[in-house]
Chains A and B, each alone.
Chain A
Amino acid sequence: MDGLNQFFGAVVAIGMSADMLVVVWATLLGIVVGMIPGLTATLGVALVTTLTFTMEQNTAILVLICVYIGAIYGGGRTAILLNIPGTPANAASALDGFPLAKQGRAGEAMAVATSGSFLGTMVGMVGLALIAPWLAEFALDFTSFEFFWLAVFGIVLCGQLTSMDDPLKGWIAGFLGLLVAMVGQESLHAYSRYSYGILDLEAGFGLLPVLVGAFGCAEVFVVMRQEATTLVASQVGGVLRSALKSFRYVRTWLRSGVIGTFMGVVPGVGEDMGAWVSYAAAKRASKTPDDFGKGSTDGLLAAETGNNAAVPGALIPVLTLAIPGSAPAAVLLAAMVIHGLRPGPLIMITQADFFYSVVAMVFWASVAMLVLGLLLTRPLLLILKVRREWLMGVIFVLCAVGSFAIAGRLFDVWVMIGFGLIGFLMRETGFPIAPMILGVVLGPILDNNFRRSLSLTQGDPIPFVTRPISAVIALLVLLMIVLALPPPVRRMLGQAKVRLLEGRRADG
């Protein structure tokens, strides 16, 4: 009850202040960012972070949350009208959104996407308000052993989920990210690893230049590699009427909202998986699964509800464990630290007001997204008429300026370009980028907690698997690895187990 009061207090505080103006422009900026192919939510949040340095901390986080929610929503427009997801989170939306637009029902598709995104964010917001305090309290029992396993769990799960077809590549990407995080001065002995006397390397790779490079600069390369695109001509009227109609699909948006929220909670997985898993669940539950992929309103609603529900979901581990649920959430986490906030298990004890302010920020951002999305359908279409090849040069300038602005180091611009090339090559060769970024974020957590734990136990690894919470997470990690093994390897392991048991029986 106390939490509910604090939430309503925060909603009123934002609603009655000049911050409402911030909500409007930041959400609109997010929608525009999301609509432009090549500008992802991650890049949008990263670039806007550099603009918030001089802002008051709550206003800065409000801006970033509005941009984040707006961008995930805005990408759906591009998916519907261009068949190109504005952000990776909207890939599933293109499956039914674009066929709907081709049938002349673009207005209806955009209305469904708007209402789905709003309802998804609302379900996610409820999840955030209910799950985060509980998780924070639970995480108070975590020690270095549990945090070590949590980092391993994040890498293994993210690697597996972001490359469903090929978990091996996902894990490689995750561990490469961990190795990247090892560069620079470590915290226990102040020794500079992998620095070779280069002063800039001693500070390690900054998270924001790495993120802007891997997601922004790499996207510039990807867009320039592709052929030019054209806008589909379609009917965009009747948006309000269609939005109201989509409220009929109560089961779809509730199911997708819950799925999206939980996919958001999983470290590093985020909005795109929220959309795909919700879409797959909606198809399985549908009475007309054959319509999926041919312009199903149900399918589009599921995808857009799922990806936006994942946004508040991704904030849950950020606020309670300081572990990001998605790539944009990783930037948000970095931005919170830059602004002097300390997310983690103690948040409900030391900064409960801030936590409920974040929930209220999500609420206002989703309201602004709904209103702007429904009212500005036609004006927003003009953005899609700008040729994206013309924008890429300007986007790269923003990447360079954004990377430089954080610490005023030219080295960060080179890091951004380097990770842009690495990200591009990874995408071309089928390696997912998200686990690598999660590895960069989780590297220090894994390293410090691993060495601290071993030091506490004098090198005895047994407590890593005997402490109750550690044991559960370790088992989950093992289970994920075994389930991801290809059937021949699993068969081989099974036969080895049988031989082992037979051998024991013979010995016994």
Chain B
Amino acid sequence: MKVDKVMRTDLISGLVVSVIGIAGFVEALRMPRFEARNADPFTVPGLTPGIVSFVIAVLGLMLVLRALAGRGASETLPIGVWPEGSVKRTLFTIATVVIYGGALFGRIPFIAATTLFVFVFTVGAEWLNPQRRMGLPVLAGWALALSLVAAFVVHYVFTVVFHVRLPG
């Protein structure tokens, strides 16, 4: 069963890689050749990306064919073992970092955005931990302390000590 999973993963990965390669190749062919400028045909912008994309498409196809032939690496891929807890924690992580990095960071003041993110992240991560021993009030208290310290320290170190501009 494990081998089947590896092959299925390789098959999907190979297809994705092939599509990227083909798309990159087609796009490289559409790049200008600057004939009107009498440009050297061997310096055109699409030359290297075209070759690189072609190689990617071929390698992707090889991966597809290998998976279809039932061959490949022997070890189990990490994606083949996903307990329910891992799925929950990963989805939670992706959701919080995308909201922080994509929506909060740079749009609201740095200290407010960072405090909110670290607080929610810490409470959520601990809440999803099956070995959790803390009750919610204690957990929230510690998480709030951590988030405030983290936001103020990062802000101070970057802006005051190292003169790096932060957004918001």
- Mark A residues whose CB is within 8 Å of B: 50-54, 165-166, 168-169, 171-172, 175-176, 178-179, 182, 186, 188-189, 191, 193-194, 217, 220-221, 224-228, 387, 389-390, 392-394, 396-398, 400-401, 404-405, 408, 410, 413-414, 416-417, 420-421, 427-431, 446-447, 450-452, 454-455, 458-459, 486
Contact = CB atoms under 8 A, between A and B. Distances in A.
A194 B27 contact: yes
Nearest to B104: A400
B131 A397 contact: no
Nearest to A176: B56
Contacts of B154: 394, 397-398, 401
Contacts of A182: 24, 48-49, 52
| Most interface-central of B13, B31, B125, B163 (chain A CB within 10 A) | B125
Nearest to A52: B162
B42 A451 contact: yes
Contacts of A413: 101-102, 105-106
Contacts of B34: 189
Contacts of A224: 89-90, 92-93, 125
A410 B167 contact: yes
B68 interface: no
B85 to A, nearest CB: 7
Interface in B23-52: 24, 27-28, 31-32, 34, 39-49, 52
A168 B45 contact: no
B108 interface: no
B135 to A, nearest CB: 16
B146 A416 contact: no
A429 B32 CA distance: 36
Contacts of A165: 73-75
Nearest to A221: B93
A401 B166 contact: yes
A416 B125 contact: no
A172 B167 contact: no
Given A392-B125, A400-B100, A400-B101, A226 B56 contact: no
A172 B17 contact: yes
B146 to A, nearest CB: 7
Contacts of A189: 34, 39, 43-45
Interface centre among B41, B92, B164 (most CB of A within 10 A): B164
Contacts of B150: 393-394, 397
A417 B101 contact: yes
A384 B46 CA distance: 50
Interface range on chain B (Cβ under 8 Å from partner): 35 or more
B15 interface: no
A405 B165 CA distance: 7
A439 to B, nearest CB: 9
B122 to A, nearest CB: 5
A176 to B, nearest CB: 6
Given A53-B164, A408-B165, A393 B71 contact: no
B56 A175 contact: yes
> What 4 pairs across the A-B complex have the smallest Cβ distances?
A393-B121, A454-B42, A428-B79, A166-B73
A387 B133 CA distance: 13
A393 B74 CA distance: 35
Nearest to B66: A168
Contact of A389 (B9, B53, B78, B129): B129
A228 B101 contact: no
Contacts of B72: 166
B99 to A, nearest CB: 10
29 contacts: A50-B158, A51-B157, A51-B161, A182-B49, A189-B45, A191-B45, A193-B31, A194-B24, A194-B27, A217-B97, A224-B89, A224-B90, A224-B92, A224-B93, A387-B126, A389-B125, A389-B129, A393-B125, A397-B117, A404-B166, A405-B165, A405-B166, A413-B101, A413-B105, A413-B106, A446-B48, A451-B42, A455-B42, A455-B43
Contacts of B85: 227
A341 B164 CA distance: 21
A423 to B, nearest CB: 13
Contacts of B3: none
Contacts of A410: 105-106, 167
B59 interface: yes
Interface in B79-138: 79, 82, 85-86, 89-90, 92-94, 96-98, 100-102, 105-106, 114, 117-118, 121-122, 125-126, 129-131
Nearest to A421: B94
A173 to B, nearest CB: 10
A36 B39 CA distance: 53
Nearest to A171: B59
Contact of B102 (A226, A414, A446): A414
B13 A431 contact: yes
B118 A54 contact: no
